[in-house]
């Protein structure tokens, strides 16, 4: 049976050790918990109730500061760290010790919590009864842990050194994700949401390219309005490969986080202008453009959409429309009387001709200027006007407005990688 034996030098080492430690870690001081209490915990047979791990600390006394890094919110109620975040949550248990030669960590679900899952750098969870840390990690100075299931978890650490022993504790609270949060499985998302592209069920949602592979907490908005703070992203027009579509679930109407800036989004998403459904509208209803947090694909208006076979790939465009303009083809959308209002980053161009290679109706083209040049070598920044079949007007736009449009040419050398072609009285750069 273990008993606690007082250490008469405790107060002395607390004051002296704390001064030296605070100087060494002053930059981290505000993030750390109070010093660990001193004392000597021994078994009835005289051995310490703690597993040994070698360290180079030689100070006579035991002192340390304990915190948790990787939290979305970290507080210190009752001088104990409380870490809060969304599942899956990866944290590091951090100990800055003085005179410590032995460590023992445990992370266990709190009593009454439904929490039941975590992994510690790939090991098995046998660092103590019910602990989520494996044997090696439980004896590490600063182990790393990924908690996959929402719930409350209790953290405890015991340390020992030549001058005594000490214990400290904290709490990790793992919540479920709201719309737009990353996830691995459905249970990591708020009630009523599911984890789109979660790794727990590979292939369930079709292809999940780029950052979509990190999962997305969402729900359908086909005919149903999204909650406040979110919008109905509708990529169904891009779901057009074959009779059955691509089979990629993210191409159906889903709720995503609304935004104004990239900083409103999680790190692997950006604030983009994308096709949206009006609140409560069916998937087939007319679209409008709005800003929302999403992965970098599929491409928006102005993006390239050349497929592996160098043919236009409509599925590469959020709007499902890929025109054979430029060296790499061009994502666009029909606008004007029979189309949508263009996104703010684009303007509606009406062509002088409706015969190929000109598009059959007005199209949104990306705005450009000296600070935002066209990236395609066969497109250039042009104002409305000019002759020829690929000449165009920009109705309702100021005279100074310019868009990325087919480049005018007089010889082949004007068209890198392309050809100079006469189109209804003027010459333009087209793909070879």
> Would you say residue 116 has pLDDT above 80?
no
Residue 58 sits in a domain whose CATH number is: 2.60.40.10
pLDDT at 338: 77
Lowest mean pLDDT of 18-22, 36-40, 177-181, 346-350, name the range: 18-22
* Bridge partners for 161 per DSSP: 164
Tokens of 270: 């950006």
Average confidence (pLDDT) over 326-343: 92
What confidence tens digit (pLDDT) does each residue in 10-27 have? 332 333 233 344 444 444
> Would you say residue 360 has pLDDT above 70?
yes
* Bridge partners for 119 per DSSP: 146
Lowest mean pLDDT of 42-46, 82-86, 148-152, 281-285, name the range: 42-46
Lowest mean pLDDT of 118-122, 238-242, 369-373, 409-413, name the range: 118-122
> Would you say residue 295 has pLDDT above 50?
yes
Q: Which residue has the higher pLDDT, 241 or 100?
A: 100
pLDDT at 168: 87
> Would you say residue 130 has pLDDT above 70?
no
Closest CA to 121 of 139, 96, 97: 139
Helix, strand, coil fractions of the chain, as percent rounded to 5? 10, 35, 50
pLDDT at 97: 77
pLDDT at 136: 85
Closest CA to 174 of 71, 26, 97: 71
Backbone angles phi, psi at 187, to 5 degrees: -70, -5
Mean pLDDT (the chain, rounded): 83
Work out the angle at residue 253's Cα, subtended by the Cα atoms of residues 284 and 211, and round it to the nearest 5 degrees. 140
Sign for the pseudo-dihedral over CA of 283, 288, 291, 295? positive
pLDDT at 29: 43
With bands split at pLDDT 50, 70 and 90, how would you rate the model's confidence at 48?
very low
Average confidence (pLDDT) over 231-251: 80
Within 8 A by CB and 6+ apart from 428, the residues are: 388, 389, 390, 406, 407, 408, 409, 420, 421
What confidence tens digit (pLDDT) does each residue in 58-72 have? 334 556 788 899 998
Average confidence (pLDDT) over 402-429: 96
pLDDT at 98: 75
pLDDT at 429: 97
Buried b (16+ CB within 10 A) or exposed e, 325-346: bbbbbbbbbbbbeebbebbebb
381, 369 contact by CB (below 8 A): yes
> Would you say residue 304 has pLDDT above 60?
yes
User: Residue 90 falls within a domain, yes or no?
Assistant: yes
With bands split at pLDDT 50, 70 and 90, how would you rate the model's confidence at 55?
very low
Q: Which residue has the higher pLDDT, 46 or 146?
A: 146
User: Residue 97 falls within a domain, yes or no?
Assistant: yes
Residue 152, classed as helix, strand or coil, is strand
What HEC string does 162-190 produce?
CCEEEEEEEEEEEECECCCCCCCCHHHEC
pLDDT at 112: 57
User: Residue 287 falls within a domain, yes or no?
Assistant: no
pLDDT at 79: 82
User: Residue 94 falls within a domain, yes or no?
Assistant: yes
DSSP state, residue 50: S
User: Residue 133 falls within a domain, yes or no?
Assistant: yes
- Ramachandran area for residue 114 (φ above 0: left; ψ -120 to 50: alpha; else beta): alpha
402, 367 contact by CB (below 8 A): yes
pLDDT at 42: 40
> Would you say residue 389 has pLDDT above 80?
yes
pLDDT at 117: 52
Domains in the chain, number: 1
User: Residue 169 falls within a domain, yes or no?
Assistant: yes
Strands 230-233, 270-277: pairing is antiparallel
Cα–Cα distances (Å) from 333 to 157, 190, 322, 345, 380, in that order, read 59, 35, 8, 13, 19
Work out the angle at residue 36's Cα, subtended by the Cα atoms of residues 32 and 42, and round it to the nearest 5 degrees. 150
Among residues of the chain, what percentage have pLDDT more than 70? 79
With bands split at pLDDT 50, 70 and 90, how would you rate the model's confidence at 95?
confident
User: Residue 219 falls within a domain, yes or no?
Assistant: no
Residue 406, classed as helix, strand or coil, is strand
Q: Which residue has the higher pLDDT, 138 or 415?
A: 415
Lowest mean pLDDT of 100-109, 157-166, 191-200, name the range: 157-166
Lowest mean pLDDT of 114-118, 228-232, 310-314, 413-417, name the range: 114-118
Which range marks the domain in which residue 16 is found? 3-175
User: Residue 101 falls within a domain, yes or no?
Assistant: yes
Cα–Cα distances (Å) from 148 to 89, 171, 266, 283, 287, in that order, read 7, 16, 18, 33, 37
Sign for the pseudo-dihedral over CA of 288, 294, 296, 297? negative
340, 278 contact by CB (below 8 A): no
Strands 164-175, 82-86: pairing is parallel
pLDDT at 133: 87
Closest CA to 304 of 327, 320, 279, 337: 327
pLDDT at 259: 98
> Would you say residue 8 has pLDDT above 80?
no
> Would you say residue 427 has pLDDT above 70?
yes
pLDDT at 302: 96
């Amino acid at each position: 049976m273990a008993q606690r034996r007082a250490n008469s030098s405790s107060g002395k080492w607390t004051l002296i050790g704390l001064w030296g430690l605070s100087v060494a870690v002053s930059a981290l001081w505000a993030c750390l918990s109070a010093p660990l209490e001193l004392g000597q915990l021994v078994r009835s047979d005289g051995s310490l109730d703690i597993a040994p791990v070698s360290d180079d600390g030689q100070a006579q006394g035991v002192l340390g500061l304990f915190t948790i890094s990787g939290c979305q919110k970290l507080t210190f109620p009752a001088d104990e760290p409380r870490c809060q975040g969304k599942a899956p949550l990866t944290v590091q248990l951090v100990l800055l010790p003085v005179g410590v030669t032995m460590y023992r960590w445990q992370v266990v679900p709190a009593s009454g919590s439904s929490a039941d899952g975590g992994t510690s750098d790939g090991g098995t969870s046998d660092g103590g009864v019910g602990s989520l840390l494996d044997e090696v990690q439980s004896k590490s100075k600063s182990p790393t842990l990924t908690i996959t299931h929402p719930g409350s978890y209790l953290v405890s650490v015991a340390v020992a050194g030549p001058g005594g022993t000490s214990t400290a504790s904290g709490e990790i609270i793992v919540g479920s994700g709201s719309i737009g949060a990353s996830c691995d499985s459905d249970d990591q998302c708020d009630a009523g949401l599911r984890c789109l592209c979660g790794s727990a069920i590979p292939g369930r949602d079709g292809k999940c390219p780029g950052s979509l592979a990190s999962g997305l907490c969402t729900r359908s908005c086909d005919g149903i309005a999204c909650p406040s703070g979110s919008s109905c992203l509708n990529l169904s027009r891009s779901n057009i490969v074959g009779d059955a579509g691509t089979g990629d679930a993210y191409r159906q109407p889903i709720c995503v986080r609304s935004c104004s800036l990239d900083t409103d989004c999680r790190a692997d998403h950006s604030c983009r202008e994308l096709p949206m459904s009006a609140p409560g509208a069916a998937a087939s209803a007319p679209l409008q453009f709005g800003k929302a947090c999403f992965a970098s694909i599929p491409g928006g208006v102005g993006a390239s959409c050349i497929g592996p076979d160098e043919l236009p790939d409509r599925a590469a465009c959020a709007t499902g429309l890929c025109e054979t303009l430029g060296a790499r083809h061009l994502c666009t959308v029909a606008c004007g009387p029979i189309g949508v209002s263009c996104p703010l980053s684009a303007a509606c161009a009406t062509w002088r001709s409706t015969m190929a290679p000109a598009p059959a109706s007005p199209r949104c083209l990306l705005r450009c200027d000296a600070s935002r040049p066209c990236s395609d070598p066969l497109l250039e920044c042009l104002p409305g006007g000019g002759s020829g079949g690929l000449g165009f007007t920009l109705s309702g736009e100021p005279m100074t407005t310019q868009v990325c449009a087919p480049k005018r040419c007089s010889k082949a050398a004007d068209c890198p990688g392309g050809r100079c072609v006469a189109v209804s009285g003027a010459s333009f750069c087209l793909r070879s």
